[in-house]
Amino acid sequence: MSTISRQAYAEMYGPTTGDRLRLGDTELWLEVEKDYTTYGDEVKFGGGKVIRDGMGQGQAVAKDVADTVITNALIIDHWGIVKADIGIKNGRISAIGKAGNPDIQPNVDIIIGPATEIIAGEGSIVTAGGIDAHIHFICPQQIDEALTSGITTMLGGGTGPATGTNATTCTPGSWHIHRMLQSAEAFPMNLGFMGKGNASLPEALDEQVRAGALGLKLHEDWGTTPASIDNCLSVAEKHDVQVAIHTDTLNESGFVEDTLAAFKDRTIHTFHTEGAGGGHAPDIIKACGEMNVLPSSTNPTRPYTVNTIDEHLDMLMVCHHLSPSIAEDVAFAESRIRRETIAAEDILHDL
């Protein structure tokens, strides 16, 4: 019986049952729980490899074979960590198991035929696409960058390279929502747009939801007052859509306690809940302790590294249309940047 070392096997077909892998440069390790292959009958594409006519590729017609097979993929999902071939039919995953030619190979449940395309999964991880829930839709090139990072769903707001979009993740009004939905058809990405939720009366918010907004975003640069918070959540409750909020750094219309009271125990998503990205200074982080609040982090403080503090002031001044010649604008930006709460955010993530 022929044998092969674990290292040589992993280099050729990827890791197998019992092998452990380190994820990038993190301290996270995973272990392969199961390999669906039949050792000695693995399939692999290439010159002199297995997936050739009469070998790993059989004679079955298109209706009986996978349209595409991803070979020897390491699958990470909520139900486990396994090594397997993945069959795709009509654009959807149809099977996870052992691919090949059932005429000569045992235990084949994904048939490869003349109509089958192959994607080599050896040495790669296949997992569910990521969701980025805080996008400023400034330019279409963001979609290419997101796809290369494994993101398959982008949620947020904006209208392109507009001043409001640079600062806030809102797509305001029916006209802008329609144009963004229209432009989304050109891209291989799941896209969703949040309307502007800053209004004290419901009618202007109702029409945005009817126009296709998947939710509403409250942002302090548009005025996140207790009245607008209450109204926005009421409209969202009526239409069964979500609300996200960027709270009032200046504490101009109330303190964090007033904002929490305006929620009235209704579920809400709070972005950059540490505060450097914006929110009640200096204590917005206390929102993390509320049962109805879904807190999140955004890019400004993730990860917290040696340059995080130094780069923040200029970033805030540019993004939020502030002037370095106006003392109040500088003070506004500086009030957000706190080493202590940025460090606390890291601990909350580790929990």
Catalytically active residues, by annotation: 320
List Cβ neighbours of 48 (8 Å cut-off, separation of 6 or more): none
The CA distance from 281 to 333, in Å, is 10
Residue corresponding to tokens 């504490």: 251
Query: Residue 351, class by beta-carbon neighbours within 10 Å (0-12 exposed, 13-18 middle, 19+ buried)?
Result: exposed
Q: How many CB atoms lie within 10 A of CB 336?
A: 23
Name the nearest CA neighbour of 293 among 336, 263, 252.
263
Residues 74 and 37 sit within 8 Å (Cβ to Cβ): no
Residue corresponding to tokens 């490869």: 112
Residues 225 and 253 sit within 8 Å (Cβ to Cβ): yes
Parallel, antiparallel, or unpaired: how do β-strands 117-120 and 215-219 relate? unpaired
DSSP E strand boundaries for 171-285: 190-196, 215-219, 242-246, 268-270
The CA distance from 195 to 159, in Å, is 11
Residues 43 and 100 sit within 8 Å (Cβ to Cβ): yes
Per-residue tokens: 81:
């960590």
Name the nearest CA neighbour of 168 among 178, 179, 157.
157
Q: Give the 3-state secondary structure of residue 179.
A: helix
Q: How far is CA 308 from CA 12, 259, 299, 303, 312, in A?
A: 41, 28, 10, 8, 6
